[in-house]
Amino acid sequence: MKSVTQLVIVLNLLGCLVHSFTLKENDLQMYMRIRNICLSEIPIDVKLIETIDAGGPFPKDSDLKCFYQCMFERFGFFDKNGDISVENVRPFLAKEFEGTNDKVIYKCLAKAPTKCQSSYLMQKCMLYYMYHISEL
């Protein structure tokens, strides 16, 4: 399958949900479709998402937290109990995390009082390790 490089994806999750990853074209299409749905549902400025995706600061923002929850839900990252599932996230990690998939997932796996907070914390952690992968 054709690869697309230098794509920003929120893993998301994510998945995914990650920055500058090498993705298959169908993953890019899925990401863009889900991102557009979540942008239409959550009152958040697309420029904020683009700034974060480009490696910019990761602000504390309740709408941003819920945006990531929307992304995580649509990618199917939550299990039936509402927790982020390692098994559901694993297939969406990009090639750059190859060999460290489980390590980064478990390091970033977030349990918080709400799905918005869990999604936000995991996404923030995943983006951190994208730029600091040697720290894993």
Q: How confident is the model over 118-127, as a mean pLDDT?
A: 90
Higher pLDDT, 64 or 20: 64
What's the pLDDT at 9?
Answer: 33
Q: What is the pLDDT of residues 25-41, one digit of tens each?
A: 667 788 889 999 999 99
On the question of pLDDT at 4 being above 60, the answer is no
- pLDDT of amino acid 8: 32
Per-chain mean pLDDT for the chain: 78
- Average pLDDT of span 104-130: 88
In order of their start, the domains of the chain are: 3-135 (1.10.238.20)
Measured N-to-C along each axis, helices 62-75 and 25-41 cross at an angle, to the nearest 10 degrees, of 140
Q: pTM, whole model, 2 decimals?
A: 0.78
Q: What is the pLDDT of residue 96?
A: 63
Residue 58 has pLDDT above 70, yes or no: yes
Q: Tens digit of pLDDT for each residue in 90-116?
A: 887 766 676 777 788 888 887 889 999
Coil vs helix vs strand at 110: coil
Q: What share of the chain is helix, strand, coil (3-state, %, to 5)?
A: 55, 15, 25
User: Quick one: pLDDT at residue 122?
Assistant: 92
**Residue entry with tokens 């958040």:** 44
